């Protein structure tokens, strides 16, 4: 599903975030990217979502090299990936339902179909009945679940999340992680960047450890880590 091949990433300010990263995440896997802050977790996710391009090396998504995707093709490419952000990135002037519906509206799904799928996605994250609420009326944990509903509403085969529990207390964080795990159990490939090793231990899943822009431990496909 995802393959990094000797990927280097140097930003315009000269900082080298990734210095030859290689790993492979198979279809249907649940993988955690971990490591101290600045180790390159976010850079890996940005390269997957084509927010950034590698300076050297290649990234393959679904056996396709992202180098071959032109700027015009990026929107179409991103529609196949669900992305969850630490700061949710919700539209605060729109109700929850509109936020969740956004990827479907962009993809041109008919209105009736949108309503149905938005309710299904909200049901999956336990927010049914909150359709008309504004994001700011919700708790942080609920806002994050809206973000997850938006990421999964278009039924992507790949779900990536950047520190999705960064702002949550431990109980809520575990709840969110279990939510990701449930999506993984129905076949979605899930990649989560988190520094919270304790949380990974609780949920279980493959661990790819980054340090100073390199992979220090790739875990291994199928490795479920500590129970």
Indicate whether 128 belongs to the interface with other proteins (CB under 8 A).
no
CB 90 within 8 A of CB 141: no
Indicate whether 222 belongs to the interface with other proteins (CB under 8 A).
no
| Contacts (CB under 8 A) with other proteins, residues 58-117 | 72, 75-79, 83, 85, 89-91, 102-103, 105-111
| Contacts (CB under 8 A) with other proteins, residues 39-58 | 49, 51
Q: How far is the C-alpha of 82 from the C-alpha of 180, rounded, in Å?
A: 12
CB 35 within 8 A of CB 210: yes
Indicate whether 17 belongs to the interface with other proteins (CB under 8 A).
no
Nearer to other proteins, 147 or 205 (CB): 147
In degrees and rounded to multiples of 5, residue 63 shows phi and psi of 70, 5
The residue behind tokens 């971990």 is 34
User: In Å, how far from its chain's centre is CA 54?
Assistant: 18
CB of 40 to other proteins, least distance (A): 16
CB of 103 to other proteins, least distance (A): 5
Indicate whether 172 belongs to the interface with other proteins (CB under 8 A).
no
Q: Give the SS3 label for residue 177.
A: helix
Cα three-residue angle 164-76-43, rounded to 5 degrees: 40
Residues that bind other proteins (CB under 8 A): 49, 51, 72, 75-79, 83, 85, 89-91, 102-103, 105-111, 150
């Amino acid at each position: 599903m995802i393959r990094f091949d000797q990927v280097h990433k140097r930003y315009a300010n000269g900082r080298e975030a990734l210095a030859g990263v290689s790993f492979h995440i198979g279809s249907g896997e649940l993988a955690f990217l971990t490591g101290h802050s600045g180790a390159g977790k976010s850079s890996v996710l940005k390269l997957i979502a084509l927010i950034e391009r590698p300076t050297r090396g290649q990234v393959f998504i679904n056996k396709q090299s992202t180098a071959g995707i032109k700027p015009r093709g990026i929107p179409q490419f991103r529609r196949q990936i669900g992305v969850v952000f630490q700061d949710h990135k919700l539209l605060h002037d729109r109700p929850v339902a509109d936020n969740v519906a956004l990827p479907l509206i962009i993809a041109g799904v008919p209105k009736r179909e949108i309503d149905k799928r938005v309710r299904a996605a909200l049901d999956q994250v336990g927010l049914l009945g909150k359709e008309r609420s504004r994001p700011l009326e919700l708790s942080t944990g609920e806002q994050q679940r809206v973000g997850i509903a938006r990421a999964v509403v278009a039924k992507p085969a790949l779900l990536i999340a950047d520190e999705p529990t960064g702002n949550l207390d431990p109980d809520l964080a575990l709840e969110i992680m279990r939510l990701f795990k449930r999506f993984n159990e129905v076949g979605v490939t899930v990649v989560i960047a988190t520094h919270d090793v304790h949380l990974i231990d609780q949920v279980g899943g493959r661990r790819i450890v980054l340090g100073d822009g390199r992979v220090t431990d790739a875990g291994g496909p199928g490795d479920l880590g500590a129970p």
